[in-house]
Structure 1
Amino acid sequence: MPLTPMDSELFGAMFAHPEVAALYTDHAHLHRLLEVEVALARAQARLGVIPQASAEAISALVSDFEPDMARLSAGLLQDGVPIPALLAQLRPALPPAAREHLHYGATSQDIVDTAFVLGARRALAVLRRVLLDVGDQLAGLGRSHATTLMPGRTHAQHALPTTFGLKAAGWLSPLTRHLERLSELEGRLYAVSFGGAAGTLAALGQRGLDVAQALADGLSLSVPPTPWHTQRDTVLELSAWLTGVCTSLGKLAQDVILLSQSEVGEVFEGGGGGGSSTMPQKQNPITAELIVAAAGTAAGLLAAAARSGVQEHERGTHGWQVEWLVVPQLLGLTGAALGHTVRLLSGLDVRAGRMAQNVAASNGLMLAEALSFALAQVMPRAEAQQLVRSAARHAAGGEGHLVALVRDRLGARGADIDWSTVTEAHTLGVSADLIQRALDHHAHVRASAFPQPPSHQEIP
């Protein structure tokens, strides 16, 4: 196995989304670095800081520049950042008058951080699109299974009846909130990094802020109040958002794994799941397992991202490099988790019949709360709870249905109770309303992401 599985030809599809992975190759990264250098030269030329001819020469050179990767790698190892070695290859190919205007007034971190923002913006565009796809799939499940009865489980035990539609709505709601958080995050993250050697832009005199704004305009970014060389809060916010998405997807996938256990059998991955080399009967929930693995790994990477934010004075010593190790992996893992979730939901085998069987097999035990409230109409609530608790022990032992056992114990006192309402289908509370609220929230957020949102139908 390679050192980084997500970069592997063999393992890559398991741990990275292909569109995100394509954004984080060496050549893609170098292209973004050059993109920022060109944008800087053009911005300074527009302001008259450098000659227009110099900006044109820099743009022309970069358009077909092929870096010497071996020299870049050696320079990176020596300097700790790729910019000096990159400039050393670019400058000799420029006209002498333009050489001093390349990278004028900037520092290496300005270029690297701004290129990082450009890469993150493109990756997040992919993640937003796939996240919306997942939301649409879950909304469809919520709508179509709004009345599909199943056991609700707390502490891994049967609790009260619920519907699979409400479970899907519960998977959907946090993802909708993540879309809202992403919009908030982007307003802070998509900012140019431009502070010069020590964050004062001293090399540009009084034109520093003008150049920063022009550079930001050229790249469709904003200008933060102060340079953020050692202000890494937005990088941490991005890392936390990515981890949050993975965690929410991991919860969904963990539920699928539990629901697909042989003893439960309520949900299965499409296509029969993964096979075993020796046990032909196995249908392993491999796709769900990959999502859970991504969530667990992301949580560990987030801890490293948080520690990397503790940086020294105006330029850090090591936290920056930790970000290089962590954030691209988080982007790749989140893309993988989203892609796997699309695949999981696309073929999800929801077995409503087995859900109904599991409800029936509980012998009415999930009606214990409803029975306690019904009995409280004819006796003190404490006495009602004690009667139901005693009957529940016998129902659990296979001696009969809980409602029948309670009715036998009540005798004539149960004549005023409407027993037809003490059924699983009558104890769903406001489940339908809750599902609709989740669908409406998703539709509203989706409409803000696309001018023409998909049509929305009420649940039955």
Structure 2
Amino acid sequence: MSVSIFDSFLTTPEMIAVFDDTEIVQGMFRFEEALARAQAAEGMIPDTAARAIASVCNAQLYDIPALVNASRRAGSLAIPLVKELTKTVALFNPESANYVHWGSTSQDVIDSAMALATGKALALLDQRLQSLINQLLHLAGQHLATPVLARTLMQPAQVTSFGFKLLNWTAPLLRSRLQLRTVAARALRVQLGGAVGTLAVMGAQGPAVARRVAQNLGLGAAEHGAWHTQRDEWVRLGLEIAVLAGSLGKIATDLSLMAQGEIGELAEPSGNGRGGSSAMPHKRNPVSAMIALAAATRTPQHAAALLASMGQQHERGLGNWQAELAEWPALFLSTHGALCALDEAMAGLHVDSARMLENINGLRGLIFAEAVAAYLASAIGRPQAHAMMEELTQQVMASGQDLATLTIAAIRKDPDLRDKTDLAHLQTLFDPVTATAAAERLAHQQLHDLQEAAAALELRAENPIPSNTEVSQ
């Protein structure tokens, strides 16, 4: 697969290789070999023909750029590929050439090859997901009690635990990992239906041949026949990739905001030219977040294109199936690039807990106003407590004093309130560590639950391909 220089920048060589032209063409040859062997096993074609076909199903024997060029005129890459395969078989065994691609159609070849490539792509994503999840869980365990500002509508809100925030990043990734395995088990199936999905040329032996082809390729057998225009499970898998990219974009958004110089709570690894500026030597750019944000920006359009392509006409789509094929690799290229970038960032993430505390203290106690109002409400009622804190916060903004000092002074001036208030307890409400306690308690339980869920996924270590490919004898 040829990608632009800017696409290459946002993905990985490993994922580019999965959808490389040679790999896709080899996947198509794997299908042709599996088809011939399955038909021979069912007595449809001679064993000699199956062996002759299999012996030349090697992409290295063919001029792939020429095949791609010819496909533009033919309307499908499978047409020139089958033509060249037939010619090559005929060079060694003219009689066997008659059995190439017997009873199949172009979409069978291409969809099956794409299913094979997608299985490899999912394995790459799963591996990186495991690494990123483990790193986030490890960081969360280290920072369960680390106070950090929670921000809502881009404004300081209250104090939370940084570990709690990390677990909020992690949970969607675990769900995506599980969901991708579940959806892949339904989507990664062999495509074999012949001209209009009926396996008419193969007759009664067609279903048995299809099961054998699936087994030979390590794909699931289609439960409800050919899925030529049944694109629901396939598109659903693509949409799950887009959801994963969105979750990575959420992490990247928070990371980039917390890494801003004015905030300075997090920083990506540096050194060896990483994150530098061509004009400003002082800069430490969050390049991992940048790559993940680019993926999150691009994937919705690819996902929308998949959805738009589902209205395929009758038994073979005209234009929409081809559009789907073109959009498909981009989802995986962007998402794997984002995963790898964030995985690298988390491996060397710098957490400045002192700066987190400094940012909390810099707000002069304003973020504790709700907790203080709730405490005072037991003494003077909720409306009066709310009004009192509203007035005091305005004084903080006007005077530059901190809310704790002003609140204690106001209580001491009011004999009735002073008698009903425990000033020592009130002081603890302005303590960031105390304020973190609620988030820390939740984070402890969530960490345990997410660790168990992650371990369960590893213990299962299942192949996401269904095991319903038994061959009838």
TM class by shorter chain equals: over 0.9
SS of aligned partner of 1:231: coil
What code does the residue aligned with 1:154 have?
A: T
1:47-446 correspondence to structure 2 within 5 Å: 47-63=42-58, 66-94=61-89, 95-222=93-220, 223-271=222-270, 274-411=275-412, 412=415, 413-415=417-419, 416-417=421-422, 418-422=425-429, 423-446=431-454
Q: Which moved more, 1:414-423 or 1:164-173?
A: 414-423
Counterpart in 2 of 1:35?
30
What code does the residue aligned with 2:428 have?
A: T
Flag the 1:408–1:186 CA change in 2: closer, same or farther, 3 A: same
Shift of 1:450: 2.8
CA displacement, residues 327-365 of structure 1 (integer Å, 9 cap, x when unaligned): 101111111001111111122111111111011111111
What code does the residue aligned with 2:293 have?
A: V
- In the alignment, the residues of structure 2 paired with residue 356 and residue 70 of structure 1 have an alpha-carbon distance, to the nearest angstrom, of 59
Contact 1:198 1:314 in 2 (8 A): yes
SS of aligned partner of 2:151: strand
Counterpart in 1 of 2:12?
17
Contact 1:135 1:442 in 2 (8 A): no
- In the alignment, the residues of structure 2 paired with residue 277 and residue 245 of structure 1 have an alpha-carbon distance, to the nearest angstrom, of 32
Flag the 1:448–1:50 CA change in 2: closer, same or farther, 3 A: farther
Contact 2:35 2:101 in 1 (8 A): yes
What code does the residue aligned with 1:302 have?
A: A
Shift of 1:220: 2.2
SS of aligned partner of 1:62: coil
Contact 2:12 2:336 in 1 (8 A): yes
- In the alignment, the residues of structure 2 paired with residue 64 and residue 348 of structure 1 have an alpha-carbon distance, to the nearest angstrom, of 43
Contact 2:145 2:437 in 1 (8 A): no
SS of aligned partner of 1:191: coil
- In the alignment, the residues of structure 2 paired with residue 406 and residue 91 of structure 1 have an alpha-carbon distance, to the nearest angstrom, of 88
Contact 1:81 1:108 in 2 (8 A): yes
- In the alignment, the residues of structure 1 paired with residue 242 and residue 406 of structure 2 have an alpha-carbon distance, to the nearest angstrom, of 49
Contact 2:288 2:338 in 1 (8 A): no
Shift of 1:429: 4.9
CA displacement, residues 274-299 of structure 1 (integer Å, 9 cap, x when unaligned): 22222222222222112101110111
CA displacement, residues 109-141 of structure 1 (integer Å, 9 cap, x when unaligned): 011101110100011001000011110111111
Contact 2:372 2:426 in 1 (8 A): no
SS of aligned partner of 1:295: helix
Contact 2:151 2:157 in 1 (8 A): yes
Counterpart in 2 of 1:457?
none
CA displacement, residues 417-448 of structure 1 (integer Å, 9 cap, x when unaligned): 32243122222353224323443343334334
Shift of 1:396: 2.7
- In the alignment, the residues of structure 1 paired with residue 161 and residue 209 of structure 2 have an alpha-carbon distance, to the nearest angstrom, of 58
Shift of 1:194: 1.1
Contact 2:146 2:436 in 1 (8 A): no
Structure 2 unaligned blocks of 5 or more: 462-473
What code does the residue aligned with 2:226 have?
A: P
Counterpart in 2 of 1:7?
3
What is the RMSD of the two structures over their aligned residues, measured on CA atoms?
A: 1.9
SS of aligned partner of 2:61: coil
Contact 1:13 1:336 in 2 (8 A): no
- In the alignment, the residues of structure 1 paired with residue 318 and residue 460 of structure 2 have an alpha-carbon distance, to the nearest angstrom, of 47
Using structure 2 for the length normalisation, give the TM-score: 0.90
- In the alignment, the residues of structure 1 paired with residue 248 and residue 441 of structure 2 have an alpha-carbon distance, to the nearest angstrom, of 24
CA displacement, residues 237-281 of structure 1 (integer Å, 9 cap, x when unaligned): 122111111111111111111112222111111116522222222
What code does the residue aligned with 1:419 have?
A: L
What code does the residue aligned with 2:248 have?
A: L
What code does the residue aligned with 1:7 have?
A: V
What code does the residue aligned with 1:50 have?
A: I
Contact 1:363 1:396 in 2 (8 A): no
Contact 1:192 1:221 in 2 (8 A): yes
What code does the residue aligned with 2:114 have?
A: F
Contact 2:161 2:440 in 1 (8 A): no
- In the alignment, the residues of structure 2 paired with residue 427 and residue 64 of structure 1 have an alpha-carbon distance, to the nearest angstrom, of 63
SS of aligned partner of 1:315: coil
SS of aligned partner of 1:106: coil
SS of aligned partner of 2:73: helix
Using structure 1 for the length normalisation, give the TM-score: 0.93
Contact 2:289 2:342 in 1 (8 A): yes
- In the alignment, the residues of structure 2 paired with residue 172 and residue 387 of structure 1 have an alpha-carbon distance, to the nearest angstrom, of 40
What code does the residue aligned with 1:86 have?
A: L
- In the alignment, the residues of structure 2 paired with residue 438 and residue 432 of structure 1 have an alpha-carbon distance, to the nearest angstrom, of 10
- In the alignment, the residues of structure 1 paired with residue 13 and residue 154 of structure 2 have an alpha-carbon distance, to the nearest angstrom, of 36
What code does the residue aligned with 2:71 have?
A: L
Contact 1:179 1:445 in 2 (8 A): no
Contact 1:176 1:441 in 2 (8 A): no
- In the alignment, the residues of structure 2 paired with residue 165 and residue 16 of structure 1 have an alpha-carbon distance, to the nearest angstrom, of 29
- In the alignment, the residues of structure 2 paired with residue 358 and residue 115 of structure 1 have an alpha-carbon distance, to the nearest angstrom, of 54
SS of aligned partner of 1:227: coil
CA displacement, residues 25-70 of structure 1 (integer Å, 9 cap, x when unaligned): 1111110000011111111111112111111111112247511234
- In the alignment, the residues of structure 2 paired with residue 261 and residue 190 of structure 1 have an alpha-carbon distance, to the nearest angstrom, of 42
Counterpart in 2 of 1:456?
none
- In the alignment, the residues of structure 1 paired with residue 328 and residue 450 of structure 2 have an alpha-carbon distance, to the nearest angstrom, of 27
